Structures are given as structure tokens and as C-alpha cells.
């Protein structure tokens, strides 16, 4: 009796000590954005694939490529990834500026925005600015791309003359690609004829 039991015990202990699952090699956790919105990440290995599409959903991936789904929490994520999360750069922000109608001057209502831009720049140690010109849909796409870039360049000059400084100030023209107010083609819309100052 006793020797058989002894043997059985040893076997079980032997099995137990070989069984604990090794920790996952890699993990991916989907996080909610500032307004709680959640995007999507598709994780695939040679063995398996999973789509993460709700907040704190995690993929734990073994060295052999097997994937197990888990649900983390705000607390567990902060504990495990706090250092990476604290190192996140500040999110970029945008301001809109308008020209006075037909002139290379700032519209009067845009003057206070220049002060807001300076305040935002002061908060960032190495801010970079992209001055992005936008147009309405009057004219061809190509002509509007050129016009948008010209407007961005003109606005950059106006801003640097007013003391706006940054690590870098680039220009870009987005033409009619991003209307604030969607319209049919060839319809004038002053609200779309704007310059966006993006600070990153």
C-alpha cells in the first residue's frame, strides 16, 4: 500500500511542478482614448490571430505564438506600464486663423488667437509648428493645393513677424481635402478658407 501511494504522490508532484503555464512572452493591451473611445488592434502570429476592440482587452502571446485574451483594468495597466504612460508626449493641438478678406493680413478676430498660440508654445519645451493651409472647393484640387501652400507660407511670415518661435515651423497645403463645412464642388465657403496652426 504505502509504496504505491508514495509512487502516486511523487508522480502527481512531478506533474504539478511541470505544469504551471509559463508567463506570456508578449502582451498587447488596447486602451481607451481621452473621451473613452476605443479603436482596434489586430494581433496575429503564425499560430493565431485576435482583434482587440474593447477597452483594456489584452492579448497575451506565448513564445510559440499562441494567443490568450484577457481583460486588464486601468489600475493593472497603470501598475505595469506606468513608466511608458508617464513618458507620453503632450497631444498636438490646433488653432484656426483667418486672413482679412483678400489681404495678406490677419483678420481682426484672429488676433486673440495669436496670444493663445504663444501661451500653448510656452507650455512645451520643444514645440514644433506646422502651418497648414486649407481652401474651399472653388477651383481644381491641384490649384487649391498650391493656393493652400501659398496661404500657409504667407501666414507663417505674419506669425514670425509677430514673434512666434518654435523648434521648427513647417508649412503644408491640404487644399480642399479637409473642409470644416462640407459643400458641393465649386461652392465658395469662407469658413473653409482657413489656416490651421498645429502645435506638436
Partner 1 sequence: MRIHWIAPVFAALATWGGAQAAGEAGTIKTAKGSVTIERAGQKLSAAVGTAVQSADRVLTGANSSVGITLRDHTLLSAGPNSTLELNKYSFDATSHGGELDATVKRGSLSVISGKLAAASPRSVSFHTPTATLGVRGTEFVIEVADREMLP
**Where do contacts with partner 1 occur on this chain (CB under 8 A)?**
22-33, 38-45, 52, 59, 61-63, 65, 67, 77, 80-92, 124-126, 128, 130, 132, 145, 149, 167-175, 177, 200
**φ/ψ of residue 67, rounded to 5:** -120, 130
Q: Identify the three-state secondary structure at position 148.
A: helix
Report how far residue 195's alpha carbon sits from residue 200's, in angstroms, rounded to the nearest whole number. Answer: 16
User: Which residue shows C-alpha cell 505595469?
Assistant: 80
Q: Which is nearer to partner 1, 1 or 35 (CB)?
A: 35
Q: Smallest distance, Å, CB 107 to partner 1? A: 24
Q: Smallest distance, Å, CB 86 to partner 1? A: 7
Q: Smallest distance, Å, CB 120 to partner 1? A: 14
Q: Which is nearer to partner 1, 25 or 111 (CB)?
A: 25
Q: Which is nearer to partner 1, 42 or 185 (CB)?
A: 42
User: Which residue shows C-alpha cell 493565431?
Assistant: 48
Q: What is the DSSP string of 101-113?
A: TTSSSB-GGGHHH
Q: Smallest distance, Å, CB 97 to partner 1? A: 18
Q: Smallest distance, Å, CB 138 to partner 1? A: 19
Residue 113 makes CB contacts below 8 A (sequence gap 6+) with 95, 96, 97
99 secondary structure, DSSP code: B
Q: Could you tell me the strand order of the sheet in which 168-175 lies?
A: 93-97, 195-199, 128-134, 168-175
Q: Which is nearer to partner 1, 106 or 132 (CB)?
A: 132
Count how many residues are written for the chain. Answer: 200
Q: Which is nearer to partner 1, 40 or 103 (CB)?
A: 40
Amino acid at each position: 500500500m504505502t509504496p504505491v501511494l508514495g509512487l502516486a504522490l511523487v508522480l502527481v508532484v512531478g506533474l504539478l511542478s511541470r505544469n504551471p503555464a509559463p508567463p506570456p512572452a508578449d502582451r498587447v493591451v488596447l486602451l481607451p482614448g481621452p473621451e473613452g473611445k476605443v479603436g482596434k488592434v489586430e494581433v496575429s502570429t503564425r499560430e493565431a490571430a485576435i482583434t482587440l476592440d474593447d477597452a483594456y482587452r489584452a492579448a497575451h502571446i506565448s513564445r510559440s505564438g499562441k494567443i490568450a485574451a484577457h481583460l486588464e483594468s486601468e489600475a493593472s495597466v497603470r501598475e505595469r506600464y506606468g513608466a511608458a504612460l508617464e513618458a507620453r508626449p503632450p497631444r498636438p493641438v490646433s488653432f484656426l486663423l483667418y486672413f482679412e478678406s483678400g489681404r495678406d493680413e490677419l483678420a481682426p478676430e484672429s488676433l486673440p488667437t495669436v496670444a493663445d498660440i504663444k501661451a500653448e508654445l510656452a507650455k512645451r519645451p520643444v514645440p514644433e509648428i506646422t502651418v497648414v493651409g486649407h481652401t474651399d472647393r472653388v477651383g481644381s484640387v491641384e490649384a487649391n493645393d498650391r493656393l493652400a501652400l501659398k496661404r500657409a507660407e504667407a501666414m507663417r511670415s505674419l506669425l514670425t513677424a509677430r514673434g512666434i518661435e518654435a523648434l521648427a515651423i513647417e508649412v503644408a497645403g491640404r487644399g480642399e481635402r479637409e473642409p470644416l463645412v462640407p459643400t458641393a464642388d465649386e461652392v465658395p465657403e469662407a469658413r473653409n478658407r482657413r489656416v490651421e496652426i498645429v502645435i506638436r
